[in-house]
Structure 1
Amino acid sequence: MAISRIAVGHPSEFGHAGALKAALAEFISVLIFVFAGEGSGMAFNKLTDNGSSTPAGLVSASLAHGFALFVAVSVGANISGGHVNPAVTFGAFIGGHISLIRTILYWIAQLLGSVVACLLLKFATGGLETSAFSLSTGVGAWNAVVFEIVMTFGLVYTVYATALDPKKGDIGTIAPIAIGFIVGANILAGGAFDGASMNPAVSFGPAVVSWTWANHWVYWLGPFIGAAIAAVVYEVVFMNQTHQQLPVAEY
């Protein structure tokens, strides 16, 4: 059972060089991802007079986030595992692939990376707003939670199948592409309803910099539930429970 392998870790891990390097890699990856993703929306608004909510804007956001996530996962994969998302980290923790101590380190780094990316965008654009995620007209908070659960389930399930499963074989080489594709596709599916976050860090940075917190809890609760369900389903149903757990240092 997945939960039986959950590891707390040792407090000394907070100062371990490998853990700190992995956290730094997560910080940089999230900064790259959020700067490109959020920046593309700001650029589209500037070029089209706030047209990011149009069909063309949705396609633009899907492509920008898919491409940027492919790069962000790729550059962090060999150092931190390339989570680039607190929900993915939570899913890995539920499956026993990362300790609680390192999970906390990753979360701090990921949130800081998003905030710094949004601050850089605000400065570089001369003070343009980094828009926080929000619900579309007619979409309730719990409707959005369901959207986030389903979309994040698909994302974390993809991470497990292509990156965390020790039986992945050669398919592991395309993990960043598959992860970028599922995020891009989910943005096309849910972007018009709640912005399609699937990533609490991506929602947190713009919310901090714009100081807009309406329905912000949606973008934490939905992704964490979706990630937990995906982790448990894949671990219990598909993961070979007799495999040797990979060293925590490799994540």
Structure 2
Amino acid sequence: MAKDIEVGGEFQAKDYHDPPPAPLVDAQELTQWSFYRAIIAEFIATLLFLYITVLTVIGYKSQTDPAKGGDDCGGVGILGIAWAFGGMIFILVYCTAGISGGHINPAVTFGLFLARKVSLVRAILYMAAQCLGAICGCGLVKAFQKSYYNQYGGGANSLSKGYSTGTGLAAEIIGTFVLVYTVFSATDPKRNARDSHVPVLAPLPIGFAVFMVHLATIPITGTGINPARSFGAAVIYNQNKPWDDHWIFWVGPFIGAAIAAFYHQYILRAAAAKALGSFRSSSAI
């Protein structure tokens, strides 16, 4: 990929080269403050994400509770909940992208690891920080509104009545594919070489992807597409129903992320073709 730049009144092409893959284990990372700063950023971002979004979910349910004089038209509605999730991802990715990459989701981290964008050590510690941040975020909600938290389900994900396990799993796979595919596309360094404005706008399509997926899948699973979000809420709420189908909110997102990583890296970016040689015919034929 080349980008034309003007030098001395003439245009020259700026060559693009794919960055080298991240090492599987990078011991040097463990000696750098930037590595631990990134882990802290992932922890705090996921904490804030769960705090705001779970509060929104509980607030909506309390405002529509007939026992409290609410009705189905009250509160922010499903549209408002979707905006809360998508908006928070937009804000937090924008704030943390330059520090940790703005993953805020183990499925995103897993997809980037499969694409060799992050090392195994970084991926594992990111996931741990994200899960711990989600637990703490839900813990804050429960500490501030314990009665509402317990009464209205703690924002925990579970399979809705009338939907099969297969339907719920498919919803999580497809929803996470949309999200992780958007992450790869919005942060593609090849696009960065061509369009310098893309990194500034990257959080916007990622936030919109989260928003759109929530609109589609809230009625089915409450929308996971983020294992840390589902895990943190389930741990703090700690009732049987969220745990019954909890595996869906890990297996589905990880499968969706893996498919998105394969599709973007090996189909759209043709990494396999580059590794095996060009498909173009030889000039000698």
TM-score (norm 1): 0.88
AA paired with 1:225? Answer: I
Q: Between Structure 1 and Structure 2, how many residues are aligned? A: 239
Equivalent AA in structure 2 for residue 125 of structure 1:
Q
Q: Cα RMSD between the aligned structures?
A: 2.2
1:38 and 2:54 correspond: yes
CA shift for structure 1 position 80:
0.3
Q: Secondary structure at the match of 1:135?
A: coil
The farther-off stretch of 221-230 and 9-18 is 9-18
Q: Give, in whole Å, the separation in 2 of the partners of 1:58 and 1:184.
A: 10
Counterpart in the other structure of 1:172: 199
Displacement of 1:164: 3.5
C-alpha change, 1:210 and 1:187, in structure 2 (3 Å) is: same
Misfit runs of 4+, over 6 Å: 50-55
Kindly report which structure 2 residues correspond to 1:20-99, keeping only aligned pairs within 5 A, or say none. 20-49=36-65, 57-99=77-119
Greater Cα radius of gyration, structure 1 or 2: 2
Letter in 1 for 2:135: V
CA distance in 2, matches of 1:226, 1:135: 18
Per-residue deviation, residues 14-71 of structure 1 (Å, max 9, x unmatched)? 4542211111010111111111111100111222227899896311210111111111
What amino acid maps onto 1:9 in structure 2? V
Q: What 5-or-longer segments of structure 1 have no aligned partner?
A: 243-251
Q: Distance in 2 between matches of 1:53 and 1:139?
A: 22
Question: In structure 2, what residue type is equivalent to 1:191?
Answer: I
Moved more, 37-46 or 74-83: 37-46
Q: Percent identity?
A: 37
| Unmatched 5+ stretches in structure 2 | 1-19, 275-285
Question: Quick one: which amino acid aligns to residue 188 of structure 1?
Answer: L
**Contact 1:74–1:82 (Cα < 8 Å) also in 2:** yes
Query: Deviations 1:147-183 (Å, cap 9, x if unpaired)?
Result: 1111110100000000144324322221111111111
Structure 1 residue corresponding to 2:129, chosen from 79, 96, 109: 109
- Provide the rounded CA distance (Å) in 1 between the counterparts of 2:225 and 2:125: 20
- Greater Cα offset, 168-177 or 208-217: 168-177
Counterpart amino acid of 2:261? Answer: A
- Structure ranking higher on relative contact order (CA contacts 8 Å, 6+ apart): 1
Query: Does the 8 A contact of 1:95 with 1:235 survive in 2?
Result: yes
Q: Which amino acid aligns with 2:236?
A: V
Tell me the residue number matched to 2:219: 192
The structure carrying a bigger strand percent of its residues is 2
Residue 167 of structure 1 aligns to a residue whose secondary structure is helix
1:248 aligns with: none
The question of whether the paired residues in 2 share the 8 Å contact of 1:53 and 1:192 is answered with: no
> Are residues 240 and 19 of structure 1, via their aligned partners in 2, closer, same or farther at CA, if it must alter by over 3 Å?
farther
Which amino acid is 2:161 matched to? T
Change in 2 beyond 3 A, CA 1:131/1:52: farther
More helix by share: 1
TM-score of the superposed pair, with normalisation by structure 2: 0.78
